[in-house]
Chain A
């Protein structure tokens, strides 16, 4: 980890939304440690590739374990870690390009397994580290280095995508609201299943959406982001889907599958218990093939 590591030379741009996410994640982990009397080494941060993936090196304070793998594969790496060690707290950190483009195929399987991990997604609507190409969440018609005449593809609606894939726990937040984000991440880590905290985390260099998200009275810009009211029933998937169909971005608890979910590793434990199977020894396995 990068704490006081002079060799590590990566920096986020000034004003990058990921700074806020970093502080929120640190606070969430410290809070979890204190509350559960759990060591920081019990947490593994699984990072995707991109600006957001550098989170795993940038974190200050108590250092968790980390794995910085290959582009798009943070979720299946987390699947392997969690299936091996259900006792570990596994957190995926990834951006919209990593999670929703090259890695999108992995969301459905983890949702269906109800893999007990938390994914913190930093959505800046752009490929930042490769210097500003269109991502799935870049708005249509936007000019980027790969969309010189305006982006021809529709913007992906990540919330509808998550709901359609069966993600059972979904929160939306802004990177600038650090305290709320910290508590969101901490709560999501407590959820016994696949939880996503989708964060609007603007890129100040290639896609600065701060004023769009928060609005700008001087320029007459209405804020895209708005806080969810108490009237939203997060356990109603139809209500959640209707809510996110709007172009505006609700901030808060969008969806939580009703009832007590059973996490992937618990399903496995239950299944083995039902079957009551003992591992046969190598000798037994071979002896069963004896030619009489």
Chain B
């Protein structure tokens, strides 16, 4: 019996390879398994190399999986490019209409498109392939049939025909695979669950988290891989006093958010690297004028247009310092889908509490991942709102050396929210002592963001692994295996990147800290070093997540 099945559908964009992996994952999740998906595709609608991967397991899943048990490929290029990721003993299913393999001892050629056409159901070729995968990997075909029946029973007239057509397609794949006799170890039975689970994507988790945190206005501009959050909000943030708008650029969206936040609303946008660059000056205004707002930045490869659909963690420096001048924007970087939900709530709470901009720093691999997670315990949701001025301090909005009550237009306390250096009532002034007073005020406000939590295990070890964001999963898997193998190494993690939890910094004093991160510069390691931590980065910049085996090898080498 096997605990894991990793299957990759590879081909061209538009061939349903991402959809195939997600369908497989959804079906397995419905059968009780843990699942996690990962996909990578070019920045085009049709064509170009693309693949979707589903990991299915009887245990909790931390990563998409280093190596494949089954590779499904639609063309010769997909076969050649992905074969290095197939594990020893793994199986291949390929589109025999496109190419033939000379050696079929570990492979099955299937003319899935033709079979689907001949069966009168041309859309079902992916299901034929899934049937073949299921048979080869010992996944319960009955569970898949139940999933298909449920998925396509939507109360429409043609449902029955679609369901039966798809079940027929599934059986065709199963039969073809059975003929070959090729068989992996059966997958362990699915685990039982004591809490209800949901199948959710990263952007949905962050968007619903934001709704739980009370977001009222969402204004964004389409950009991969952050558009999904905008479209989710457009469909779901509705009703009285709620507003979703498509801006004409990221410059317009950030400045519109400032207007909305200034007018008293809880506001948010989503963007990715190029958009964040354009928002730099606006974020400076939000910092300077003390306007609460949240920017969810879904990192992709950079700089410039970079790798629009790939994953990277190279926006940390710009997230903390998105514009010119003295500022330090708070950053929360979720490392899992559950953290995407809770992190979005925390980002809103932080922005409202300290009255300024907060970066929710996500990344493509988190935003697009679909995974089963336990239903969040909504009784734990705590929502904070800015302290609103009742007019008693008149128009002295910026008086005092910390967070002060926020006057809302329409009520008492008229003032000027000013991006120029200003005095207590917001009038421009360039006097040296006022710039000192106001700069100190703005930085002192960060002190109220002191409730960031962190994980710490075996911190008595000399060396500690401390990943951030989406590298958490791979790093944790590597750490689990290394410690099981007897390596003495500690673990720390936080999604509260700036400001870092004070107790975490204390725990790291005198330690050697290894920081796995997906960028060239070692940005988080540099941030830690600026806080007095002896941190060194383990970097990768391929546009793909870390493989656990690679990380383990690198950590072992650093310890040697």
Task: Show the binding face of A for B, using Cβ within 8 Å.
Answer: 1-2, 5, 7-10, 39-42, 44, 46, 54, 56-57, 63-70, 73, 76-85, 87-88, 105-106, 108-109, 268, 272, 275, 277-280, 282-283, 285-287, 289-292
Contacts of A79 in B (CB 8 A): 245, 247, 252, 255-256, 259
Please tell me if B419 contacts chain A, counting CB pairs below 8 Å. Answer: yes
Of all chain A residues, the one with the shortest Cβ separation from B429 is A7
Contacts of B411 in A (CB 8 A): 41
Q: Which of B197-225 contact A (CB under 8 A)?
A: 197-200, 204, 208, 211-212, 216-217, 219
Given A69-B417, A287-B375, 11 further pairs, Cβ under 8 A = A8-B427, A54-B428, A66-B415, A70-B419, A73-B252, A79-B245, A81-B260, A88-B409, A105-B249, A108-B248, A278-B238
Contacts of A289 in B (CB 8 A): 198-200, 204
Of all chain A residues, the one with the shortest Cβ separation from B237 is A279
* CB-CB under 8 A for A77 and B208, given A1-B416, A83-B245, A277-B239: no
Of all chain A residues, the one with the shortest Cβ separation from B150 is A292
- A76 close to B425 (CB less than 8 A): no
* CB-CB under 8 A for A69 and B257, given A63-B414, A76-B251, A80-B262: no
- Shortest beta-carbon contacts, A-B, top 4: A80-B259, A80-B256, A279-B239, A66-B416
Contacts of B198 in A (CB 8 A): 286-287, 289-291
- B217 close to A285 (CB less than 8 A): no
Contacts of B407 in A (CB 8 A): 65
Our pick among B204, B252, B414, B419 for the contact of A68 (Cβ within 8 Å) is B419
Please tell me if B282 contacts chain A, counting CB pairs below 8 Å. Answer: yes
Please tell me if B285 contacts chain A, counting CB pairs below 8 Å. Answer: yes
Contacts of B239 in A (CB 8 A): 272, 277-279
* CB-CB under 8 A for A41 and B428, given A81-B262, A278-B239: no
- B409 close to A109 (CB less than 8 A): no
Contacts of B267 in A (CB 8 A): 80, 84
Our pick among A40, A57, A291 for the contact of B197 (Cβ within 8 Å) is A291
* CB-CB under 8 A for A80 and B30, given A1-B416, A70-B255: no
Q: In the complex, what's the smallest C-beta–C-beta distance from B245 to chain A, in angstroms?
A: 6
Contacts of B236 in A (CB 8 A): 280, 285
Contacts of A290 in B (CB 8 A): 196-198, 375
- B238 close to A272 (CB less than 8 A): yes
Instruction: Give the complex CA separation of A262 and B242 in angstroms.
Output: 19
Our pick among B255, B381, B410, B415 for the contact of A77 (Cβ within 8 Å) is B255
Instruction: Give the complex CA separation of A84 and B258 in angstroms.
Output: 11
28 A-B residue pairs with Cβ-Cβ distance under 8 Å, sorted by A, are A1-B414, A7-B423, A8-B428, A41-B414, A44-B263, A63-B414, A64-B414, A65-B409, A68-B418, A69-B258, A69-B417, A70-B419, A76-B256, A80-B219, A81-B409, A83-B219, A84-B216, A84-B259, A84-B263, A85-B410, A88-B263, A105-B249, A272-B240, A282-B208, A286-B208, A287-B198, A289-B204, A290-B198
Instruction: Give the complex CA separation of A115 and B30 in angstroms.
Output: 47
The number of inter-chain residue pairs (CB within 8 angstroms) is 204
Of all chain A residues, the one with the shortest Cβ separation from B33 is A291
Of all chain A residues, the one with the shortest Cβ separation from B407 is A65
Contacts of B414 in A (CB 8 A): 1, 40-41, 63-66
Instruction: Give the complex CA separation of A275 and B239 in angstroms.
Output: 10
- B208 close to A285 (CB less than 8 A): yes
Contacts of A65 in B (CB 8 A): 407, 409-410, 414-416
- A106 close to B252 (CB less than 8 A): yes
- A88 close to B410 (CB less than 8 A): yes
Q: Which of B265-314 contact A (CB under 8 A)?
A: 265, 267, 281-282, 284-285, 289
Of all chain A residues, the one with the shortest Cβ separation from B409 is A65
Q: In the complex, what's the smallest C-beta–C-beta distance from A267 to chain B, in angstroms?
A: 11
Q: In the complex, what's the smallest C-beta–C-beta distance from A193 to chain B, in angstroms?
A: 17
Our pick among B217, B249, B265, B395 for the contact of A63 (Cβ within 8 Å) is B395
* CB-CB under 8 A for A291 and B30, given A44-B409, A67-B417, A106-B248: yes
Contacts of B416 in A (CB 8 A): 1, 56-57, 65-68
Q: In the complex, what's the smallest C-beta–C-beta distance from A33 to chain B, in angstroms?
A: 13
Our pick among B257, B413, B428 for the contact of A80 (Cβ within 8 Å) is B257
- B256 close to A279 (CB less than 8 A): no
- B255 close to A84 (CB less than 8 A): no
Instruction: Give the complex CA separation of A2 and B419 in angstroms.
Output: 16
Q: In the complex, what's the smallest C-beta–C-beta distance from B96 to chain A, in angstroms?
A: 34
Q: In the complex, what's the smallest C-beta–C-beta distance from B419 to chain A, in angstroms?
A: 5
Of all chain A residues, the one with the shortest Cβ separation from B376 is A286
Please tell me if B487 contacts chain A, counting CB pairs below 8 Å. Answer: no
* CB-CB under 8 A for A73 and B251, given A68-B419, A290-B196, A291-B198: yes
Most chain B CB within 10 A, of A7, A8, A56, A84, is at A84
Please tell me if B29 contacts chain A, counting CB pairs below 8 Å. Answer: yes
Instruction: Give the complex CA separation of A84 and B216 in angstroms.
Output: 9
Of all chain A residues, the one with the shortest Cβ separation from B197 is A291
Most chain B CB within 10 A, of A5, A39, A76, is at A76
Q: In the complex, what's the smallest C-beta–C-beta distance from B375 to chain A, in angstroms?
A: 6
Q: In the complex, what's the smallest C-beta–C-beta distance from A82 to chain B, in angstroms?
A: 8
- B258 close to A77 (CB less than 8 A): yes
* CB-CB under 8 A for A83 and B260, given A1-B414, A68-B417, A282-B212: yes
Contacts of A42 in B (CB 8 A): 409-410
